[in-house]
């Protein structure tokens, strides 16, 4: 990932498992193990994967967060963004990078 958030919310690497026949997905990163994710085929070789996590904050306590990855397999790009589900946080961490298919 390039242009990744400097505060550790966006991992340097992500992995996605997509099963088009069942419209299901899983997501993992260099910070987390595999978790089930929501999957949406947006057409034109574009896919959206969304998953929620409980993350520990440096200042203490836990934060419930939602990650969204937008994959474009026609130009091999991925954009990942994160949002806090609860709390009054203004930051919206994101990162962009390249991706490749592995079967």
The CA distance from 50 to 26, in Å, is 9
pLDDT at 3 over 90: no
Residue 89's pLDDT is 79
User: Is residue 55 assigned to a domain?
Assistant: yes
User: Is residue 76 assigned to a domain?
Assistant: yes
Q: Which residue, among 34, 32, 87, 29, has the nearest Cα to 61 in the 3D structure?
A: 87
User: Is residue 57 assigned to a domain?
Assistant: yes
User: Is residue 5 assigned to a domain?
Assistant: no
User: Is residue 3 assigned to a domain?
Assistant: no
Residue 48's pLDDT is 97
User: Is residue 6 assigned to a domain?
Assistant: no
Q: What is the pLDDT of residues 40-87, one digit of tens each?
A: 999 999 999 999 998 887 778 888 999 999 999 999 999 999 998 887
Structural domain total, the chain: 1
Whether the Cβ atoms of residue 50 and residue 67 lie closer than 8 Å to each other? yes
User: Is residue 4 assigned to a domain?
Assistant: no
Q: How many angstroms separate the Cα of 4 from the Cα of each of 25, 43, 61, 94?
A: 23, 26, 23, 6
Residue 102's pLDDT is 83
- Give residue 52's domain range: 14-98
User: Is residue 61 assigned to a domain?
Assistant: yes
- β-bridge pairing 62-72 and 94-98: unpaired
Whether the Cβ atoms of residue 97 and residue 78 lie closer than 8 Å to each other? yes
Residue 36's pLDDT is 97
pLDDT at 96 over 80: yes
């Amino acid at each position: 990932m390039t242009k990744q958030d400097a505060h550790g919310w966006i991992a340097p690497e992500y992995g996605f498992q997509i099963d088009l026949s069942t419209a299901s997905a899983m997501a993992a990163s260099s910070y987390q193990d595999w978790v089930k994710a929501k999957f949406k085929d947006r057409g034109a070789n574009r896919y959206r994967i969304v998953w929620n996590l409980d993350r520990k904050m440096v200042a203490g306590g836990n934060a419930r967060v939602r990650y969204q990855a937008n994959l474009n397999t026609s130009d091999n790009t991925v954009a990942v963004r994160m949002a806090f589900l609860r709390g009054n946080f203004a930051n919206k961490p994101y990162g962009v990078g390249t991706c490749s298919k592995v079967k």
